[in-house]
Amino acid sequence: MSICSKWLGLVAGCVIAAWAQAPGNAFQPAATLKVDFPKDSPVTLLSANLGESRMDASGGALVLDLHTALTLRNASQRHIRGVMLLVETQEMAPGGKASVAVPSLDVRPGGTFPVRIDLRLLRPLMTRGGPMAQVSLDGVLFEDLSFYGPDQLGSRRAMTVWELEARLDRNHLKTVFQTKGWAGLQAEMIETMARLADRPQLDVQVVRRGRSVAMTVSGRECQFAFLQVPGAPLETLSGLAHIVGSEASSPAIQVLNRSERPIRYFEIAWIIRDRAGREFMAGSVPAADSGLRLAPGAKSEVHEDAWLRFTQANGQPVEIASITGFVSQVEFSDGSIWIPNPADIAGQRLRAVLAPSPEQQRLAGLYKKRGLAALIEEVKNF
């Protein structure tokens, strides 16, 4: 069933009539999308464009193919830097929950901004009553790095990291412009767009249970190599994973807190090299989290009880030859976060495989659409 494209004036908590029945469709229930923000929310809903969203029956489930554009307003007295939304059909239904992140914002009090929701969700076919899907607010990050929201998805940490990266990226571009002028800044943006176009894509599937015992005794042990990032408060001492073809199991990494503050969270990023010598960024795994308190000078070994399967974007498996790791973020017990400075990794092999940050991608898109003058003006505004 196709959705009627129509803008509706709405307030937070309203219900949007999302699907109209289509003649000839075998399954045609009335369906709704509910946008539900708290009364004290720093963002409010102004309108929603329901676009080309569809709903179809598949086996024992409804497949909701959402393509919705929301217009939100900053109802607070502070600049907003990021927003994270939770979109779900039923909390316990597999495939019924997803998130939408909007980083690199600069929304002044009273300002508006768009949010695109392009998701495919599942909902049990026999469920009765209530909206087909609901949009709620998981978090809002402000200019001073303060946070509002339930933070069910860990959005405070994620959006803080993105904002810190954005500040470093903008400062880097300012420095390039001041030292190398227009030509240097243009060369920087051309290099960023080339990285976006040419960077190898890697999919990572995490399997936590149900592996065959036989799989755990075949294969080989692989020692991690580590890149030491200048200024990192955490030192990587050793790492080991069991490798079977394109899969790595039970990774264990030993670290040392070199700082003078307790650490409650950290991430170690992985770079996978295949047998042809190509390198892929594999994300940040494992991540130490619940209950961690690593005192100054203390060591800890982090275990991930899982199998990690690596494939290229085309579905071809990546035969793992070696793994390199580096500290990609550290959160201290007071909530402050450390991330690497791009200037510290520019001369290392990291730059060739690291994905451009959300801010780099946004600024590259601005440069592509509006040119160098618009990019310079944007960077100066911060």
For residues 230 and 309, membership in a common domain is answered with yes
d(CA 75, CA 53): 28
**Residue 369: Cβ-neighbour burial (10 angstroms; 0-12, 13-18, 19+):** exposed
Number of domains in the chain: 3
d(CA 221, CA 354): 26
For residues 297 and 348, membership in a common domain is answered with yes
Whole-prediction pTM: 0.81
For residues 210 and 123, membership in a common domain is answered with no
Query: Phi and psi at residue 362, in whole multiples of 5°?
Result: -65, -45
Contact 74, 107 (CB under 8 A): yes
The residue-averaged pLDDT of 115-141 equals 84
For residues 142 and 242, membership in a common domain is answered with no
The token pair that represents 68 in the structure block = 């919705």
The token pair that represents 124 in the structure block = 């049990």
In this structure, the strands spanning 225-226 and 320-332 are parallel
Contact 16, 46 (CB under 8 A): no
Look-up of token digits 């290229």: 312
Buried residues in 30-58 as b, exposed as e (16+ CB within 10 A): ebebbbbbeeebbbbbebbbbbebbbeee
The residue-averaged pLDDT of 309-328 equals 89
Cis before 286? omega within 30: yes
**Per-residue pLDDT reduced to its tens digit, 74-114:** 999 999 999 999 999 876 667 888 999 999 899 999 999 99
**Per-residue pLDDT reduced to its tens digit, 13-27:** 333 333 333 432 332
**Per-residue pLDDT reduced to its tens digit, 222-233:** 999 998 888 899
Residue 124 lies in a domain: yes
* Residue 176: closest CA among 164, 192, 198, 160: 192
Residue 307 above 90 pLDDT?
Answer: no
For residues 282 and 324, membership in a common domain is answered with yes
Residue 2 lies in a domain: no
For residues 14 and 136, membership in a common domain is answered with yes
d(CA 275, CA 279): 10
For residues 118 and 234, membership in a common domain is answered with no
Residue 43 above 80 pLDDT?
Answer: yes
For residues 57 and 118, membership in a common domain is answered with yes
Residue 280 lies in a domain: yes
For residues 109 and 233, membership in a common domain is answered with no
For residues 211 and 342, membership in a common domain is answered with yes
For residues 304 and 347, membership in a common domain is answered with yes
Q: What is the pLDDT of residue 213?
A: 41
Residue 127 above 70 pLDDT?
Answer: no
Q: Any idea what the CATH number is for the domain that residue 133 is in?
A: 2.60.40
Query: Which residues have C-beta within 8 Å of that of residue 106, sequence separation ≥ 6?
Result: 79, 80, 81, 381, 382
The residue-averaged pLDDT of 178-190 equals 92
pLDDT grade for 336, boundaries at 50, 70 and 90: very high
Domain of 299 in residue numbering reads as 202-354
* Amino acid of residue 105: L
Residue 1 lies in a domain: no
**Per-residue pLDDT reduced to its tens digit, 159-168:** 999 999 999 9
The residue-averaged pLDDT of 6-13 equals 33
Q: How far is CA 245 from CA 32, 47, 86, 278, 280, in A?
A: 46, 50, 36, 15, 15
